[in-house]
Structure formats: C-alpha cells, structure tokens
Structure 1
Amino acid sequence: MKHIAIVGGGTSGAVLAARLSETSDISVTLFETGPDDDVYGSSVLDPIRAPEAWQGASPVAMVGMQGAAGIIPALQGRLMGGTSAVNGMATLRGLPEDYDGWAAAGLDGWGWDDVADTFISAENDLDFGSNPLHGDSGPLTVRRWRRNEMSHAQNAFYDGMVETNGPIVCDINDSSQLPGIGIFPVTIDANSNRLTTSRAYLTPKVRQRENLQIRTKCKVTGIHIDAGRATGIILENGEEIEADDIIISTGALWTPILLMRSGVGPADHLAEHGIKVKADLPVGDTLSDHLGAGIRYIHEGPRGGTAGPAQSLYIGASNGKDVDYHLFPIAPSSKDGPTTFTMGAFLMRSSGNGKIRMGETSGVELVVTAPTIADYDAARLEHAFARLAGWEKSKAAKDLGCRPEVPHDLSMENAVAVALERNTISYGHMAGTCPMGSVLNAECQVLGIDGLRVVDASVMPTIPSGNTYLGCVMIAERVARKIKTATRK
C-alpha cells in the first residue's frame, strides 16, 4: 500500500485527502497546523460574521505584503478547511481563456475543455441544477444569495448598476453573459451556514476510513529529500515520518517557504540561509494576486440583510469585451454610528511579479513583496472608477443616503493613484508562487525531485480572472484523479 503524506488541510488538502483515500491501495495521512473543523463557531459558520474572521476571530495567518503604498494585509486560514473557512465563499471559476492559456503554454490537460467537467462535478448547484454548465451531485452545495438576504448597500449597488446600464447577468460563471452585474454564487449548506472543503469532503463517513489519518495542530517544518527523492516529512517536535509520496498544500504564501527550508528554491537565496540546495528552482519568484483600490462609503440606517460579504458583483471589461476587473461593496459594518462599507475595485489580470522569501531575521518566517500595479493596469481601474462614479449618481445610491467617507472626485486625472495610495487592498487571491511550467511539471510534481508534489494556488501559472477558491478545488480534484489512476496501473 502506498503511503501519501499531505501537508496542509486547507482548501486543496481536504479535497486531496478525501479523494485519495477513496482508493484502498493508498493510505493517507493529512497534517494540519491548526485545529480541526470541530472548532468552527458562529464566526466561521455564520456568513455575515466573515469580517470577524478577517480581524482574527478565527485561526488565521495574517501576512503583510510589502507594496508600493505600504503594507497590504493578506489572509490565510490556519485550521481545517483553510481559507475556505474564512473567505467570502465566492465560488467563481475564472474564464475559459484563462485555462486555455495554461494549455497553450504547454501544460497538457489544463485547457478549459479538460477542466470544465471537474468544476461541474464538484458542485451541487441549487439554482441551476444539472445542465451543460452546472452539476447537481457534487460535494459543494452552491447557490446565489436572494435579494431579501442582501444588505441595503449591496441591493443599492445592484440596482444602481442596472439603472446606469449595467447588463444583468443571471449566471456569472457563464462567460458568454459577461460583462455585467450579477450575484456571487457561494458555498453554503441547507441551513445557510458556510460550507468549507473540510465539511464538504471530509464528512464523518469519510473520516471513518481505515486508510485515512488526520493529524491536526501538527506543524510540518521540512521535507526530507535524499538523492533527489522526497522520503518523509519533519515535524516541529523533531518527529520524522516516512512517506512514499508527499503533497504540499499549504497555500501560495507558505508552500514556497516549506520548499525553501527543505532545499528547493533559488540557490542564491538558500545559500544566504545556509541551506543545502536540493533543487535550484524559481520558487517564490512569481507571486500573483488580484489587487485593487478600496474606497470607503457611509450610509444612514441599519446594515440590513443576513448574507455574507460576497453578494452583488459588477464584472467589468475596460475594453468592452474582455473581463478584467471586479467592482463590489465589501464587509458592511454598523456596530456604532452610521453604516460603513468598502467599495473594492480589483484587477483581474496580474503581472505575477511579487515575491516570497524566507525572513532575514529571527522570528520572521517570510517576507512578501506584493505585485505592482503598472500604469497599464491602473488604466483598467479608471474604467471601474467611471462605472463607480455613475453609480454614485444613481437614484439607488442617493436613496441609500450614500456618501464617500473621504470626499473624492473619481473623474480627476489622478483619482486611481490617490485611491491606491490611500487604500491598496488584496482580494486574498495569492497564487503562482510554485507554478507549473517552471517549478512543477503538468502533473504538479516538483522538477528534479521524485515523490514530491504541490497542490494549491501556488501551482497556477497565471492567475484566473476570478476568485481562486474554486480553482484550488478543481486542481486538487484533477491531481487526485491522476494519482489514483497511476496507482491502479
């Protein structure tokens, strides 16, 4: 029986553990730094409380990315389910051309025609059921928020965008309907609680499998590599555990750090830290994210609604046809005084020029340099600001009593630069730090090291034009299928 060790029980790791343990010829041990999903309280399960998780109410790893305008917070969950336990639950796939671009770059098996069925089979769509674009029998229960569940600001945004000629999109996972205004699909259960990949895939029945062991509160600090092969993992307490194959699924920020500590990474950087080089690879060199500008607004009256943070969404195309930005209200709050929310305008195309490096001083585990927003990308944001300026003048926005917290003129020449200086924000979609094509092959295997794979957002050679959560599920599903097929031969 082949023993596979999976490092990280997050969005991808939970999927891998469930799928690989379906095969009796494979034994799986899943290692997670944080606690199990039995710690989920209302701050995780109640969608409306998601912003509390972002402020540390749940086990999270909050990292500051060093950007041109200062520190940009980046969030990753540190518990079973990972970031699927603390994100906005937005269940988008990206665009077909994103994945066709992967295939065109030489990554066979990753084109849209290859991956579409995987997206479909993973979902149980309560709104569309089974049709050519959606599934009705997968582990992830998906639906869209109802208008009566959404906050006053979200409804006003939706209505104002329609009022200012934003086409209505019934299904924002159908690229043929874009650009336009729609409502996020989200992963929630029958009781409208957050459904993480841990809860969806690692069900009580799955956890009873004799060939599956889950070890939580168990930090892996290194991979043992001998003569070009990964042979085991090293825990923080010094314990070493042998494995036939190892899969790292600790996310785009932490996966490169674990690889570097194990001798896989840029040779010069490893040498600076006194680490013997096992494979000289550009680990951490190509961090992508969906960055953008956040503008805070105020409106009178209560927040309203019971839905989570991902509600109404305008998907825009600065050239009129090619989707390249998201515009939507984020994280309403009304604890004291007037209700505030942030309007986020995020770029969907990224140059992937950020970096991840090991910390240079004791106690600093990693240093993250955020991708830059080039002049060309800033021009895309100008289009988003023009749409936002139109919304501000809409009857829906005026009826809401909405006004910017800090007065601004979205039409002025340097409006984008000013907004980015005040509040550059991350969509939380860090990706591409160990991509297929330069660090990994198309099977997500580390080049030059046998028995070692990476399966999480790190592997994306380019960032999809949408939320990365569902892409991580798709990648895990496909790699698990490949491993099971190879094991049966």
Structure 2
Amino acid sequence: MGRVLPVFRALENTPAGDDARRGRSGPFPIRQRTMEEITPSMRTFVLAAEAAGLSRIADFNGAEQHGVSPYPLNVVEGRRVNTGMAYLSEEVRRRPNLAIVGGAEVDAVLFDGRRARGLRLLDGATVEAGRVILSAGAFGSPAILMRSGIGPAAHLRDLDIPVLQDAPVGERLKEHPFYYNVYALKREVRAMDPVAGAIIWTQSREAAPDELDLHISGTHIFDPAQSPTGGAIVLACSVTLPRSVGSVRLASRDPRAMPLIRYNFFEDPADLRRMLEAVHLSRRIGRTAPFSDVVAAEMYPGPDVRDDDALRRAVLSAVDGYAHPTSSVPMGGRDDPWAVVDGSGAVRGVDGLNVVDASIMPDIVSAPTNVTTIMLAEAIGRRLG
C-alpha cells in the first residue's frame, strides 16, 4: 500500500476524505455519494444493512472498508468521467508528438527479430514505433499478443501462427462472478435515478483476517418494465477474491473473430460457497426493515427458492461476469512460471513491447478494476518516462 498510495493520491481529485489518503488535484475525479443523493429505496438498503449488523463506512477509500455506504464514483454532475475525458484535455490533444486515430483496430505487433517495431492494423496499414504499448484490456491484449506469436506454443501452432515466444498468455484470467438478487419496489418508492447507490464490502466465513472477499452492490440497473410495479432495486452479489481461474484463447487467426473467453466460474468450490453466503446476506437484508417496508416482492431468485439446493441452482443458472476481467497477461518475477510481463509491463522474451492494462494484474483486486488500472498506468508511465 505504501508504494502505490502516492500514485493513487496523485491521480485523484476529490474534496472528501482524509488528506493523508486522498488526492485533491489529480486529473481523475472521485465523488462520494451521500445518503441525500441516493434514492429513497437505496437509503433503506443502507439502513437495513446497518440493522443486520454492518458498520456504516464514511469513506471506502479511507482506513476502513468493512461495512456499508453510498457509492464513491467517478461521476461529476451526472456524467461518468472516463480516462479519455480526464486525461486527453484540449491542451494534451494539441501536443505535436501525439496523434489520436479513431477507429483503428490492431491486428498484430510487428517485429524486427525479437524487437517490436510497430503495429499492423486490420486494414493493412502499419504504424512504426520505437516502443509499442498495448492497452487493449484483458481480452484484447492477449489476443493481439497471440496473433503476434507470443502465447502458448501449442495453441499458436494449432492456428498456424509462427511462435516467437512461448508464454502463458491467456492462462490466468480472473473475473468477479456476479449474481442479481432483484426486488420489485412499491409504487410509491419506485424512483430509480440515480441508478448507482450504495455498496457493502464484507467477509465470508472463509476469508483471511485482512480480506474483504464479498460485496453486495445496490443499484437500479434494471429494466423497470420488467418489474410489476415499474420500479426495482438490484442487490448484486459478488465474490471479489475468486479462486477460480479462466482462460482466453483465439478462435482463429482472423483478427475479426471474437476470442474464446472461458470464465470458469466456480471451478473452485469455495467460490460457489462464498457466493451463496453473499446471497443469503443479501436476502436477509431484503427481509429487514426499513428495506423490507419498500419491497413489493422478491423477483430473483424469487419466493419459491427457499433452500440451499434451490438457491445453488438459481445462482448457477444466472451467474454473470462483472466486466472486471484481469490477469490474462500477468506480471511477475523471473521465477514466476505464469508471468508474461515484468513490473513495468515489459513482455518477457522480446524487446520494445509493454502491456499496460488490467490484464497485467497478477491477481484480481477486491474492487472494481478501473482506478487500479489507472494507477498501474500512472506508475508504469513514470518508469518508462
């Protein structure tokens, strides 16, 4: 924490929280939602979670995270701020050494021997570079590497891709499994804006003492037309430190072909046990006042799901990914058999090629991956100069 905290503080721009832990003047805005800003039903979710024994957290980015609070978000005046908005200001866009090309899709990295010299685009055009940095995400970056001849040798040979570097690309995919516990709201409290409201971070019975391996995210991300009352609240349950490992493979050498993504959720039985624990907690909050006072009916898994076997079947039939994929091009030391890149994102076995995105996380973080990925980019950017 001590090594990355200064990087987080430098990138952050927030008026809230402890000066020792929070950044005030960085490019990336973080805003803490208040109880007054969230919907009436979301406020009851927070209060019912407290009644169920969880502590109220003042600042999830502060010293304590185990409990419940309205969301911290990178939302300003109702608009989510992405990295393009935060970092690519008009001043930056005017830099003579920067060219932004829209709609350019990368096929592969080009090499002179073992040194990267540029990129080949899908339209056949090439982009020359002294150093290539891939930031195509936990699916795109491994796919580009494998099309470039960097990946599991047997898999590349099966696709008639010449092997430049045998490497465990795509072998360690991680993702947060996600299950939706959904409630129809009574008509008088069916407001669904703002959609993002509050969140719980907590521990399963199997967590290590310093781990928060479960969360329950309260949102209104649901089609109101699907609710019998025209309003709904989702208590989305997730295992935030999953042990199951998935994979990313190429379906073919064709860069237009979608990669084969296998999340492999619940390969480790502990992940399913912990997910069921999260859903049990979510449903207990659903039965607790004042939240229970605003609920018209539980929609999913529904009142017919009463025992563990039925709940297990419900979860297995509807588990989703949280869109937090990581670790398909993991970083690590020279002795780490799964490491594809080093601590600067440099691809081992070749020169002039780095990967800087969520794919290089050695393991998934117990949080949404957005800001951690920005921290990695800031830290590696400083190293590369």
Question: What is the TM-score of this pair, normalised by structure 2?
Answer: 0.90
The aligned amino acid for 2:323 is G
Q: Quote the residue 1:228 is aligned against.
A: 114
Find 1:382's aligned residue among 240, 258, 276.
276
How many residues of Structure 1 are paired with residues of Structure 2 in the alignment? 369
Q: Does 1:366 align with 2:259?
A: yes
Distance 1:417 1:360 in 2: 35
Q: Quote the residue 2:152 is aligned against.
A: 266
The aligned amino acid for 1:433 is S
Find 2:204's aligned residue among 304, 308, 318.
318
SS at match of 1:149: coil
The aligned amino acid for 1:371 is N
Distance 2:130 2:115 in 1: 10
Deviation string, structure 1 residues 239-286 (Cα, Å, up to 9, x no partner): 112110000000001110011111111111111111111111010011
Q: Quote the residue 2:242 is aligned against.
A: 350
CA RMSD of aligned residues (A): 2.0
Which structure 2 residues correspond to residues 437-448 of structure 1 after superposition, within 5 A?
A: 437=332, 438-448=339-349
Q: Give the superposition deviation at 1:335.
A: 4.3
Which structure 2 residues correspond to residues 417-456 of structure 1 after superposition, within 5 A?
A: 417-437=312-332, 438-456=339-357
SS at match of 1:385: helix
SS at match of 1:156: helix
Q: Quote the residue 1:467 is aligned against.
A: 368
Q: Where in structure 1 do 4 or more consecutive aligned residues deviate above 6 Å?
A: none
Is residue 161–residue 253 contact of structure 2 (8 Å, CA) maintained in 1?
no
Which structure 2 residues correspond to residues 27-176 of structure 1 after superposition, within 5 A?
A: 112-128=1-17, 131-174=19-62, 176=63
Find 1:329's aligned residue among 218, 235, 241.
218
Is residue 170–residue 182 contact of structure 1 (8 Å, CA) maintained in 2?
yes
Distance 2:366 2:109 in 1: 33
Identity over aligned residues, as a percent?
A: 26
Is residue 181–residue 283 contact of structure 2 (8 Å, CA) maintained in 1?
no
Distance 2:307 2:173 in 1: 31
Is residue 150–residue 305 contact of structure 1 (8 Å, CA) maintained in 2?
no
Find 2:308's aligned residue among 413, 417, 426.
413
Is residue 256–residue 433 contact of structure 1 (8 Å, CA) maintained in 2?
yes
SS at match of 2:285: helix
Q: Quote the residue 2:128 is aligned against.
A: 242
User: For the structure 1 residues 240 and 224, does the alpha-carbon distance in structure 2 shift closer, same or farther, using more than 3 Å as the test?
Assistant: same
User: For the structure 1 residues 361 and 260, does the alpha-carbon distance in structure 2 shift closer, same or farther, using more than 3 Å as the test?
Assistant: closer
Distance 1:116 1:416 in 2: 40
Q: Quick one: higher RCO (CA 8 Å, sep 6+), 1 or 2?
A: 1
SS at match of 2:383: helix
Q: Does 1:181 align with 2:85?
A: no
Could you list the runs of 5+ residues in structure 1 that have no partner in the other structure? Answer: 1-111, 485-489
Deviation string, structure 1 residues 57-87 (Cα, Å, up to 9, x no partner): xxxxxxxxxxxxxxxxxxxxxxxxxxxxxxx
Is residue 378–residue 416 contact of structure 1 (8 Å, CA) maintained in 2?
no
Distance 1:251 1:297 in 2: 33
Find 1:480's aligned residue among 361, 381, 385.
381
Q: Quote the residue 1:304 is aligned against.
A: 191
Is residue 212–residue 240 contact of structure 2 (8 Å, CA) maintained in 1?
yes
Find 1:206's aligned residue among 89, 92, 95.
92
Q: Give the superposition deviation at 1:403.
A: 2.0
User: For the structure 1 residues 192 and 316, does the alpha-carbon distance in structure 2 shift closer, same or farther, using more than 3 Å as the test?
Assistant: same
Distance 2:163 2:372 in 1: 31
Q: Give the superposition deviation at 1:142.
A: 1.2
Distance 2:292 2:380 in 1: 50
Could you list the runs of 5+ residues in structure 2 that have no partner in the other structure? Answer: 333-338
Distance 2:287 2:190 in 1: 21
User: For the structure 1 residues 402 and 127, does the alpha-carbon distance in structure 2 shift closer, same or farther, using more than 3 Å as the test?
Assistant: farther
Is residue 333–residue 341 contact of structure 1 (8 Å, CA) maintained in 2?
no
Distance 2:310 2:16 in 1: 39
The aligned amino acid for 2:260 is V
User: For the structure 1 residues 385 and 164, does the alpha-carbon distance in structure 2 shift closer, same or farther, using more than 3 Å as the test?
Assistant: same
Question: What is the TM-score of this pair, normalised by structure 1?
Answer: 0.72
Distance 1:329 1:278 in 2: 46
Distance 1:204 1:120 in 2: 23
SS at match of 2:3: helix
Q: Quote the residue 1:395 is aligned against.
A: 289
Is residue 389–residue 410 contact of structure 1 (8 Å, CA) maintained in 2?
no
